[in-house]
Chains A and B, each alone.
Chain A
């Protein structure tokens, strides 16, 4: 069997060398083709798109976008000493006007154009809060406007803050134009308006956060990727001390990155906040395969270098394949284990990228070497024991084999103490937490939360006969119910409000009239008003309550969702069907799917690893043993997360499976090296010491490169990526350490009991 595989590998290596020209040409053509598409890569930072289309909250949210001229609202916040000044009002009007005339904006609501229904002794007025053609300019008029604003819930603390310093201009985005381009255009347009009173402008709400996220993602690619490349170059240069040793792994990974990005574009996908890390991860992980190939080639002392290459390839293909397949499976666990599209796509494309790196290492690298005769002229000897090996690994190997029980006990205690931290892990799904404290997005959100009733929209849809008094009363009562829970809801607005206000203006009180004819006739007064398109469906078979959530808090979202779901259960009927969506629901679904993703991807990853490692080592016991250091690693990393207050979010949820996929290689390394030393006749203690010395060195070099690749994201401006960077680096370190200390200790004790356990 082994002989047959060896023969096949040799044949494959010979084939590769023979077909080197077509292989290099094919890779070049593919790279140009996919590079053309890869250059067009776009970013999708919309968190709602990460939920599957079948998700009820996401589906309804998107439907509202289509039916009611957009569900996305960007908020331009003006801050100054006093909003009620003529020059400030003029600025608000200019911004409102400019936004109104922009493509991609369906509606703008601000102090200077918001609808107002007034009652007076002589009649009624369905008009605007201020006359935009004749703005208040005397102290009296300004004071009157201020009194009017503060007399209505609809304006107070929503359009103008209660301290009169802040006002919101709310732009509704058309669903037909990409959000990022509208947000950017708004910023461009507003920045060009000369402000009369030097107001400070902030941009808040989801679309601006999405724009900031996209910009950061592109910036990460532009800045962090070169830094990662430099670090990898440094590590490669130190390791190989040759141009070829730097160029080939980099070329390989560069091509794999180009292919992956090209494939993302061709398949109609976009980069997300987490797939932003794919190039960095490919750099760190993918270069390892070419390094293995080059290392092996260097070790073969044959003067016919082409033969040496074939032999090296024949030998290394299987080990590299095993390293590749475990890592790829680690990422594959996201495909089957996640509800979130964002995470699933991440799993797919990282696995594909890793596959590209592997294929390139096996075919392209030898083809290039033989085509350009890039064999190293002087083959290097296997590096002799370095200072690191002498000072660290040798004492470590002695210690582990002398006190295996102590080693296990120390790891056990450490794991137990840290694992308690797992219970302190909290979850965070809100977009505002992507940003660092003090960043524009964070400041804008804090302003909105503190002064303008928050920025998270809630939509409550009522299905039925919209002009029926019973229907409108149900809406009216629902709004009252929502307003009673002011800890959650800061603002509600619907057509029922307008009808009640007009009924009041007709002298019959602020309520829904009982007579349908009255409703129909009042309706005529507001028909065609811009705001109606956002409140009533074009077919008049649905109306919506627009509300805003008062704060950003996962727990509050959950409580509110439960409260409203119960309310709907009690009040929805065949005649008036009520449904709800909005950011609290979207975030609650995201939150729930994070937990599901975590459990299922981890379970799938463990099962896959166990199967593949057991098959590789042809022993279930060895497979289980190899999993132990990783289980310890994951427990420690997640415990650390809990103690440090790092939340589970779309990025940190990835840590466990990636750790398994990457870290399992270390364990496999240890077990297989140990077995080969035992096969060559060494006693267990000697075999273990030798294993720790040789494998330990390789493992540490690899983990430094990989951890560095991950650690770079500490410089990203996106907080979840910083947290991901810390956790991944820590995990790699612990995975490596436990593989060279804990695993040998376990092997030693198991072997001591029954020496046959570990042998093939």
Chain B
């Protein structure tokens, strides 16, 4: 009798495990679907950088994005940075253009953990890959309002794991990044809103827990599916 009970318990635990794993992947799939639905996007953004002593710097930029692999960022202010552009192309090809030199330079891609232009986001953070492609997921907990997933990188990464909190609408709320020493080093918080058919992160806040430096990225204007031409993602356009 007793043995039967135990078997039943073991069986139900075994049955539950794949259900859990499946759920985590399903959740991540849904997150990817929702957050990368548009064909292309054109946004103006404002970045507010705040250091540990509360000093603030504000920058604005325009972003063109097409699919997963093409992105152009052009700074529009402050005056000193106006015209500086970063172009990311497939296969980790990246260029920077500095108007003061009138020259573009290719940037090596081996520096994924490098911070982007003084923000708290690294080139790895900015990679437009889907969560599913980057991570293996495991469901840590769930309740009526949210799921908490543990993401383990599939490829080499500056992080050992990411704890991703997703709301009941399958939109990311918070991502906590851990270094190889398993210490939490960075927290991203998202605020997703809907525009037309698409959800997008209206604000994204990145906090570096070691330097206590924060970056807040706000989308000021956004347009989706305007049929961006491939010519935009060229060195010629970058220099314009």
Contacts and interface: CB of A to CB of B under 8 A. Distances in A.
Interface of A: 97-98, 100-101, 118, 122-128, 131-134, 505-508, 515, 517-518, 520-522, 524-525, 527-530, 533, 538-539
Nearest to A105: B210
B107 A517 contact: no
Contacts of B52: 538
Nearest to A124: B105
Interface of B: 51-53, 55, 80-81, 84, 95-96, 98-101, 103, 105-108, 110-115, 117-120, 156-158, 179-181, 183, 211, 213
Nearest to B114: A127
B111 A528 contact: no
A123 B109 CA distance: 11
Given A126-B111, A506-B105, A521 B99 contact: yes
22 contacts: A97-B181, A101-B181, A101-B183, A123-B106, A123-B107, A124-B108, A126-B111, A133-B158, A134-B110, A506-B105, A507-B101, A507-B103, A517-B99, A518-B100, A520-B81, A524-B81, A527-B118, A528-B115, A529-B115, A530-B211, A538-B53, A539-B55
A134 B110 CA distance: 9
Contact of B98 (A101, A122, A506): A506
A97 B185 CA distance: 13
B81 A127 contact: no
Contacts of B103: 506-507
A518 B181 contact: no
Contact of A538 (B51, B106, B118): B51
B80 A521 contact: yes
A533 B107 contact: no
B98 to A, nearest CB: 4
Given A524-B84, A539-B55, A127 B105 contact: no
Contacts of A131: 110
Given A98-B181, A132-B113, A508-B101, 17 more contacts: A125-B111, A126-B107, A128-B111, A133-B112, A133-B156, A133-B158, A134-B156, A517-B80, A518-B98, A521-B98, A524-B117, A524-B118, A525-B117, A528-B117, A528-B213, A529-B115, A530-B211
Nearest to B104: A123
B179 A101 contact: yes
A522 B98 contact: yes
A337 B81 CA distance: 58
A84 B124 CA distance: 28
A525 to B, nearest CB: 7
B117 A521 contact: no
A78 to B, nearest CB: 19
B172 to A, nearest CB: 24
Contacts of B117: 524-525, 527-528
A125 B98 contact: no
Q: In this complex, which of A133, A134, A530 has the most chain B Cβ atoms within 10 angstroms of its Cβ?
A: A133
Nearest to B83: A521
A367 B81 CA distance: 83
A97 B178 CA distance: 13
B88 to A, nearest CB: 14
The 5 closest A-B pairs by CB, nearest first: A123-B106, A527-B118, A101-B181, A125-B108, A127-B111
A133 B112 CA distance: 10
Contacts of A124: 105-108
Contact of A506 (B95, B101, B107, B111): B101
Q: In this complex, which of B103, B115, B119 has the most chain A Cβ atoms within 10 angstroms of its Cβ?
A: B115
Q: In this complex, which of B105, B120, B157 has the most chain A Cβ atoms within 10 angstroms of its Cβ?
A: B105
Contacts of A128: 110-111
Contacts of A132: 113
Contact of B110 (A125, A505, A529): A125
Nearest to B106: A123
B99 to A, nearest CB: 7
Contacts of A100: 179, 181
B80 A528 contact: no
A485 to B, nearest CB: 34
Contacts of B211: 530, 533
Contacts of A127: 108, 110-111, 114
Contacts of A521: 80-81, 84, 98-101
B100 A517 contact: yes
Contacts of B105: 123-124, 505-506
Contacts of A529: 114-115
A525 B123 CA distance: 12
Nearest to B108: A125
Nearest to A128: B111
Contact of A122 (B106, B115, B120, B179): B106
Contacts of A505: 105
A517 B81 CA distance: 9
A520 B80 contact: yes
A333 B125 CA distance: 64
A132 B110 CA distance: 10
Nearest to A69: B211
B97 to A, nearest CB: 9
Contacts of A518: 98, 100-101
B178 to A, nearest CB: 10
Contacts of B113: 132
A515 to B, nearest CB: 6
A122 B179 CA distance: 32
A533 B55 CA distance: 14
A527 B57 CA distance: 12
A506 B105 CA distance: 7
A125 B107 contact: yes
A437 to B, nearest CB: 38
A601 to B, nearest CB: 43
A169 to B, nearest CB: 15
A506 B106 CA distance: 10
B91 to A, nearest CB: 14
A510 B110 CA distance: 24
Contacts of A515: 100
Contacts of A123: 95, 105-108
Contact of B108 (A118, A533, A538): A118
A132 B159 CA distance: 12
A507 B100 CA distance: 13
Contacts of B100: 515, 517-518, 520-521
Contacts of B55: 538-539
A132 B100 CA distance: 33
Contacts of B96: 525
B70 to A, nearest CB: 19
A125 B114 CA distance: 11
Nearest to B155: A133
Contacts of A506: 98, 101, 103, 105
Nearest to A467: B80
Nearest to B112: A133
A118 B96 CA distance: 15
Q: In this complex, which of A97, A101, A529 has the most chain B Cβ atoms within 10 angstroms of its Cβ?
A: A101
Nearest to A118: B108
A123 B111 CA distance: 14
Nearest to A519: B100
A167 B96 CA distance: 34
Contacts of B179: 97, 100-101
Nearest to B96: A525
Contacts of A517: 80, 99-100
A97 B55 CA distance: 29
A401 B105 CA distance: 97
A522 B114 CA distance: 15
A414 B49 CA distance: 75
A98 B42 CA distance: 42
B108 A528 contact: no
Contacts of B157: 133
B107 to A, nearest CB: 6
A189 to B, nearest CB: 10
Contacts of B213: 528
Contacts of B119: 528
A29 B118 CA distance: 60
Contacts of B112: 133
